[in-house]
Structure 1
Amino acid sequence: MNKLQLTTCLSFLFLAMLITENVFSQNPDQSKKSFITKKKIGQVQEQDVFEYTLQNKTGMQVQLITYGAAITNVITPDKDGKMSSVVLGFDSLSQFAGTDNSLMGSTVGRVANRISNKKFTIDGQEYTLSSDIHGGINGFDKRVWIAKEISKKNELAVEMTYLSKDGEEGFPGNLLVTVTFTLKNNDLVIDYKATTDKATPLVLTNHTYFNLSGGKSNKALDTELTVFADQYLEYGDGSLVTGKILNVKQTPFDFTTPKTIGKDIEKVQQYTNGYDVTFALRNQTSKLALAAKAFEPLSGRALEVYTTEPGVVFYSGNWLSEKVKGRNGVPYTKNGAFCLETQHYPNSINTPNFPNTVLRPKETFTSQTIYRFLVRNH
């Protein structure tokens, strides 16, 4: 190639780059790329805490932090293509690590939900816990996890690992837990895995608060909910289940067809200030199946929840308080968001007729939940 040919070739290449740059600037959607970023956001318990941002080619974003293995942000488009957050969160690590954090997006364990009287017995040995709820005073939501990026074809994933030592919060056994968060298309996939060296109860879940309006409403009461369950777990004072499984028909807990969260909420408020109920899902096969759907008319956003778990807890944000400021300094409001926590039943370790929650040595616990984000125009 002579000098004239080389100059001509370089000129065409430069022109092509200019044209490409102009196309992307005029059509920003075409320039979106999938990526993972990692940054240190501070320390808790003298341990570094990192934030991961996962973005797919459509611009959907998921943010995670290693404190509590928590989902801190999910940004999705509404029916007009406007991107905004659909989960509650905070602006700073100090808030996530503070006393005002109501398990925002956290991984909850070693046993999510409640264990009656803080006691249980396995193989004739009685154990006493530090608390009757959510894994103890310092459960998994208050621990710093070790994270690494996982390379998958056309998928973005972060794996978080925590070793819960024998005797922690009163639980037996060294329990190694891995939670993998994968952004696949518009699905947020959560895979749980655990092994132990002593028999121990195990109930894992994620406690993300959803508001699908994306900031258009500070309440979630007009969100339409469907739960694929014909039965729910009866509960009494303090939301502790009684052991009875009841039919949802002709009760405020009937979400077998789409119903707004607010329609019957006053009928259950005398018990728990709103919904805080475990549904026994139709799917009891341990295979992945649709558990619940939600639709927010204001934004057109829809959420589908798939799980291998036998139950889902529906919580209507009853104790969210305006005294607490969330992301961008905006105060929370009662019923300002809802949770759909896929899990085994509460207090199963003390309720023989509930599905087994004891993990034993040489066994491997696995579970999967998918949060799928969609848009509808009606």
Structure 2
Amino acid sequence: MKLFNEIEMPLMSILADMEFNGVSIDVPTLNDYAKVLNEEVNGIEAEIKELAGVEFNVASPKQLGEVLFERMELDSKAKKTKSGQYSTSEAVLAKLKGKHEIIQKIMDFRSLKKLISTYVEALPTYINQVSGKIHTSFNQAEAATGRLSSTNPNLQNIPIRTEQGRYIRKAFVPSTEDHVFLSADYSQVELRLMAHMSKDQNMIDAFNHAADFHQATAAKIYKLPIEEVSKEMRSRAKTANFGIIYGISAWGLAERLDISRKEGKELKDGYFESYPEVKAFMEASIEKARENEFVETLMGRRRYLKDINSSNAIVRGVAERNAINAPIQGSAADVIKIAMINIDRRMKKEGMQSKMIIQVHDELNFDCLKSELEQMKVILREEMENAVQLSVPLIVDMGVGENWLEAH
């Protein structure tokens, strides 16, 4: 009831305001970008046909399957779907990645086509004729972890791992020339919550004393002084940091880092040796879930896991990973919701005209009046960093720009 009355109910009117405020889109930027991406797609398509040595429709899974598995013979054990054609799903292509350069080209072709159809060409169709803005819907009771989701359009799923995906954010602009885009997001909030909830002293110390947590983790895993940690070691430690709190296996780590299973196991073992209480916390979370068939966040939000005692190992494995991740991801969702409520209260109290417009999990975005910028930065830092008191500090990164890309 505390979660319901103090977080979810007060948040409802804030989300309604955000939906009503909407966000401005620069349509010419998207139209120009559509031309650039379509040219890129056409170029990749031509390369695929050249590598295949035959003219065919790359967008047709049926024709693509025939080219890859009958003409090019890339997998003698290729499986056919019920409709009698070869499967060319993302998972199938990922397994063939090292076999021929055509596979990466096909993956690039597909991701660009999806980017164009889902965002570049679709976003302008969502512009409201009256307001001239896009008004997404934020769904409060959709995700099992307590995270908000966004639909019509989904503004939380714009790809940011690729240059092309990130560029779409350039089209999200302030409402007038008197405004700027202000973005604030929590730094490594889930890892900080893991440190707090697991009470792992090594992890707490790394957050409290090290300038770079991933570097500190690498130093522990590889038993080296921090200054001797290489970029590659830091990168591996970062993958371990984020992967392990999602219950990733040693094999999954190896696959993601493109290393041997033995190295994957050594990395995971080294991680748990460095942060022993994290392992104990994960095991305890699974044990609690087995007893109660649910797990809880810091604020008492429950995620029910009926499959945790299933006799099916695959089904049970999914529930076990959720038992590890849900308390962490759900607590992160609770934290930003508390921050949103406190920020909104403070903005109203101080008579701010700036508006909260987009939430993407650990990130809040504002249409900020230029004259209020410094005051808004103070409000965001104070309210986000003090949303809850943990055994490690909550840290917020902020950016300002003429568009979302510049700000974040």
Instruction: Give TM class, smaller chain.
Output: under 0.3
Q: TM-score, normalised by structure 2?
A: 0.25
Q: TM-score, normalised by structure 1?
A: 0.26
In terms of fraction of residues, the more strand-rich structure is 1
In terms of fraction of residues, the more helix-rich structure is 2
